[in-house]
Amino acid sequence: MSGKEVQGSEFRFGYVAIVGRPNVGKSTLLNQILGQKVSIVTAKPQTTRQRLAGIKTTGQGQVVYVDTPGIHHSAKRALNRYMNRVAQASLHDVDLVMLLIEAGTWTRQDEFVARALGTARVPVMLILNKIDLVPEKTTLLAFVEKHFQADDYAGILMISAKKGSGVAELEKQVLQQLPFSRPYYDEDQFTDRSERFLAGEMIREQLTLRLHQELPYALTVQIEEFKRANGVLKIGAVIYVERESQKQIAIGKKGIVLKQVGSKARHVLQDLFGEKVFLRLWVKVSRDWSDSEKTIEKFGYLD
């Protein structure tokens, strides 16, 4: 695709916010649209903590999909309040909002998110995700008629972000909602985030997948070394937890947990960056870091 082709008079460009309650598949949808892993995905709610843009460029347009933390009603700790601020701020300065919900399910959390969309002054598309988990498709039509008014939305679509069903049609309809404009990003750029940021997120994903119960919510990852030398990308990362007891769990008996996480994260990073990676991990304690506005800002959680 040449530069002339992506800047024709029929070319469209715009920003699209993907919003919804935690664990409805926002990051899975972004990865499916991009055709590669950019946003981390786990079965645990609130895995996404920061805004991340995925950029999709075709011959017809360039769409910047903004993945956001799940908006949740209960936000008692500083980190949770930060995630809500980021998600709600993403409703502004975009051209379109996609409200993602789980097909056949409408919860108090969904209602809370829908009310938050009252501040959005752009079209909103309603996306029912995980339709592959609903055996009787006719029940989805009844569900939509019960809970939603078609006139309230720029479109109502049903998809499976995990399997890709309906995603191509979704992209087509999204593009039609965007203004005609030249592209802003290079056509080979797929995210607005740095490699350091992506590295920290991929490590945190492996920790979240490996650890159980509440510990994933009490840890964060900081990249302290990121440099290339002699054909190897050297990454040094510190895993911060809130208690000494959590540090022991993250390390594991004889370091087994840290070794397993490091091994899996290294393979993910090599696939992501397409080069050999040497990864070193440490675990440190920063007491109650997730409930300190000052500390979360120090760790890169910036509004």
Tell me the C-alpha to C-alpha distance, in Å, between residue 168 and each of 94, 127, 141, 183, 211.
21, 13, 21, 20, 35
**pLDDT confidence bin for 8, thresholds 50/70/90:** low
Query: Residue 244 pLDDT > 90, yes or no?
Result: yes
Tell me, yes or no, whether 152 lies in a domain: yes
Task: Name the domain count of the chain.
Answer: 2
Q: Per residue in 113-162, pLDDT tens?
A: 988 887 778 999 999 999 999 888 788 989 999 989 888 899 999 999 99
Tell me, yes or no, whether 188 lies in a domain: no
Q: What is the mean pLDDT of residues 71-99?
A: 86
Beta bridge partners of 12: 61, 180
Q: What is the mean pLDDT of residues 10-35?
A: 94
Tell me, yes or no, whether 303 lies in a domain: no
CATH number at residue 224: 3.30.300.20
Contact 23, 109 (CB under 8 A): no
Tell me the C-alpha distance between 54 and 127, whole Å. 18
Tell me the C-alpha distance between 12 and 184, whole Å. 11
DSSP string, 193-213: S-HHHHHHHHHHHHHHHHS-T
CATH number at residue 64: 3.40.50.300
Tell me, yes or no, whether 13 lies in a domain: yes
Q: Per residue in 171-182, pLDDT tens?
A: 999 999 999 999
pTM: 0.89
pLDDT at 165: 96
Are residues 159 and 236 located together in one domain of the fold?
no
pLDDT at 2: 42
How does the average pLDDT of the chain come out, rounded? 91
Q: Which two tokens stand for residue 197?
A: 């940021």
Tell me the C-alpha distance between 249 and 255, whole Å. 9
Are residues 20 and 108 located together in one domain of the fold?
yes
Q: Per residue in 209-236, pLDDT tens?
A: 998 766 778 999 999 999 999 999 999 9
Q: Which domain holds residue 202?
A: 195-298
pLDDT at 3: 43
